């Protein structure tokens, strides 16, 4: 089997596995989020460079071990990669990328290191802003039984990943605690360009939201 055929078979198996695992995920982490992140990561990589196989694999697997979906010691990415007949060094690279992707709080530094991790992280972050980001945020908030908004509860800038994980604040606060910060935390030029209109959409949405809240939109 040629290397390319082998690689595409591995990607297809991984895609089917992830589709199945994420079938009934209702907190904004469904298969279609993974699908969009994968597509966006490939588009960015086509303009910026990077190993396409590593990028596609890491994009497909990036949320599999997310703390919101499963317990941190399940190591499902590692287990899945062991099932595939991949070289150890490739497995290690994919695991490293998936670990470097996630957002851990406003004041918590988490820089993606390899060019591939930078691209997958950017694609994941772009899917958290714009119209889709808004939909995912309310879907996540709803799944946790959170209020849409409470004027008495102010957004918090979390200093640790633990504090960020524990928050139960209303969903509008999440815009200030994460979404509006993302445009300045992107790694690649291409992602920064894509973020401009998505970020603007967030700010327009919030303006309208608060106008309607106060009844001053007419």
Q: Which of residues 49-108 bind Ni ion (CB under 5 A)?
A: 63
Using CB under 6 A, which of the segments 38-46, 79-87, 134-142, 148-156 binds ligand ADP?
134-142
Orientation of helix 52-61 relative to helix 88-100, angle to 10°: 60
Is the CB of 86 or the CB of 120 nearer to ligand ADP? 120
Report the helix count and the strand count for the chain, using DSSP H and E.
10, 0
Among 124, 140, 146, 191, binds Ni ion (CB under 5 A): 124
Count of residues of this chain found to bind ligand ADP when the rule CB under 6 A is applied: 19
Q: Which of residues 26-65 bind ligand ADP (CB under 6 A)?
A: 28-29, 63
Q: Are 62 and 120 in contact (CB under 8 A)?
A: yes
Distance between CA 65 and CA 87 in Å, rounded? 21
Using CB under 5 A, which of the segments 14-22, 118-126, 172-180, 197-205 binds Ni ion?
118-126
Is the CB of 80 or the CB of 103 nearer to ligand ADP? 103
DSSP 2-49: -HHHHHHHHHHHHHHHHHHHTTT--SS-SHHHHHHHHHHHHHHHHHH-
Distance between CA 18 and CA 30 in Å, rounded? 10
Shortest CB 125 distance to Ni ion, Å? 9
Task: Print the binding letters for residues 136-175 with ligand ADP: x by CB under 6 A, - otherwise.
Answer: xx--xx-------------------------x---x--x-
Question: What is the gyration radius of the CA atoms in the chain, in angstroms?
Answer: 18
Place of tokens 């972050």: 125
**Binding region for Ni ion (CB under 5 A):** 63, 124
**Binding region for ligand ADP (CB under 6 A):** 28-29, 63, 66, 68, 102-103, 124, 127-128, 133, 136-137, 140-141, 167, 171, 174, 178
């Amino acid at each position: 089997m040629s290397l390319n055929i082998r690689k595409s078979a591995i990607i297809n198996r991984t895609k089917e596995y992830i589709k199945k695992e994420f079938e009934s995920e209702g907190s904004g982490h469904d298969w279609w989020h993974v699908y969009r992140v994968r597509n966006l990561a490939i588009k960015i990589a086509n303009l910026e460079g990077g190993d396409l196989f590593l990028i596609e694999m890491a994009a497909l697997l990036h949320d599999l071990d997310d703390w919101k979906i499963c317990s941190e010691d399940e190591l499902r990415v590692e287990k899945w990669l062991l099932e595939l007949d991949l070289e150890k060094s490739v497995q290690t690279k994919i695991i490293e990328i998936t670990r470097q992707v996630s957002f851990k709080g406003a004041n918590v530094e988490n820089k993606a290191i390899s060019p591939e991790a930078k691209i997958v992280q950017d694609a994941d972050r772009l899917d958290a802003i714009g119209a889709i980001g808004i939909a995912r945020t309310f879907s996540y908030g709803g799944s946790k039984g959170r209020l849409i908004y409470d004027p008495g509860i102010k957004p918090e800038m979390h200093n640790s990943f633990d504090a960020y994980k524990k928050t139960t604040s209303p969903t509008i606060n999440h815009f200030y605690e994460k979404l509006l910060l993302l445009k300045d935390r992107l790694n690649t030029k291409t992602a920064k360009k894509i973020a401009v209109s998505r970020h603007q959409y967030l700010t327009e949405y919030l303006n309208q939201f608060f106008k309607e809240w106060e009844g001053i939109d007419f």
